[in-house]
């Protein structure tokens, strides 16, 4: 297995550790969780950097990267919902989007198209596949989760922090949900052509 894929998969145990920390009422541990969260998102950038540097870019790497991104975002949304910082509708939207979009990408992959290479419209390439939009979406997700983690830590010291930070948290949540939906729509539209070609029986 390539080094880039090892880095990608190593995000999973880090994610599990982070979720465990969420449910421990200890300020220093939750601040440590914030640091781990930052590392978790930096690893998402680092695995791609290593793949390009070592010429290890592959369909498997792209699929693993997307799968771990989905695991991270969905598990974190559900965890923050469970502790009361995120409303139920947010993880529902992300889960629905994950199942639909990744299912469509699976169809395209069976026909030899990569996760981002399946996009053929100009706006689809920009919203979904461009480095700018991928970076913006990744940064927005990292920001909202770090903000929620900071809130979760600070309320142990003073519950007043919740009322101070929650309006800002909600604005960030709406921003990320908006980006999630906007980036999902082009996948629905551009994937139509892949259903016109029969998939060979396995």
- Give the mean pLDDT per block of 10 residues along the chain (202 residues): 82 94 94 94 84 76 81 95 96 94 81 75 87 91 95 93 94 96 90 68 46
Rounded to whole angstroms, how far apart are CA atoms 42 and 45? Answer: 5
Specify the pLDDT at position 6.
84
Residue 202 has what pLDDT? Answer: 43
- Residue pair 23/8 in contact by the 8 Å Cβ criterion: no
Q: How far apart are CA 154 and CA 113, in angstroms?
A: 45
Q: Where are the domains of the chain?
A: 58-195
Distance CA 143, CA 23 (A): 20
Helical residues (DSSP H) of the chain, grouped into ranges: 3-9, 11-22, 27-53, 59-82, 89-110, 122-124, 131-157, 160-190
Q: Interior CA angle at 182 toward 109 and 75, to 5°?
A: 70
pTM above 0.85, yes or no: yes
Give the per-residue pLDDT at 197. Answer: 58
Separation of alpha carbons 130 and 75, rounded Å:
25
The per-residue b/e assignment along 137-152, b for 16 or more CB within 10 angstroms, e otherwise, is bbebbbebbbbbbbbb
> Which pLDDT does position 166 carry in this prediction?
93
């Amino acid at each position: 297995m390539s080094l880039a894929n090892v880095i990608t998969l190593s995000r999973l145990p880090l994610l599990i550790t982070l979720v465990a920390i969420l449910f421990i009422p200890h300020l220093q541990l939750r601040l440590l969780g914030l640091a781990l969260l930052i590392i978790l998102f930096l690893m998402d950038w680092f695995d791609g950097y290593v793949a390009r540097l070592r010429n290890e870019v592959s369909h498997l790497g792209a699929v693993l990267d997307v799968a771990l991104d989905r695991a991270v975002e969905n598990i974190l949304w559900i965890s923050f919902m469970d502790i009361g910082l995120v409303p139920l509708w947010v993880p529902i939207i992300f889960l629905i989007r994950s199942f639909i979009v990744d299912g469509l990408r699976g169809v395209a992959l069976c026909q030899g198209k990569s996760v981002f290479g399946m996009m053929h419209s100009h706006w689809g390439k920009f919203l979904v596949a461009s480095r700018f939009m991928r970076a913006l979406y990744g940064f927005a997700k990292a920001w909202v989760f770090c903000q929620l983690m900071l809130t979760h830590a600070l309320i142990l010291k003073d519950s007043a922090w919740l009322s101070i930070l929650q309006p800002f948290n909600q604005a960030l949540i709406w921003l990320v949900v908006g980006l999630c939906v906007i980036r999902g729509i082009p996948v629905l539209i551009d994937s139509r052509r892949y259903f016109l070609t029969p998939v060979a029986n396995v």
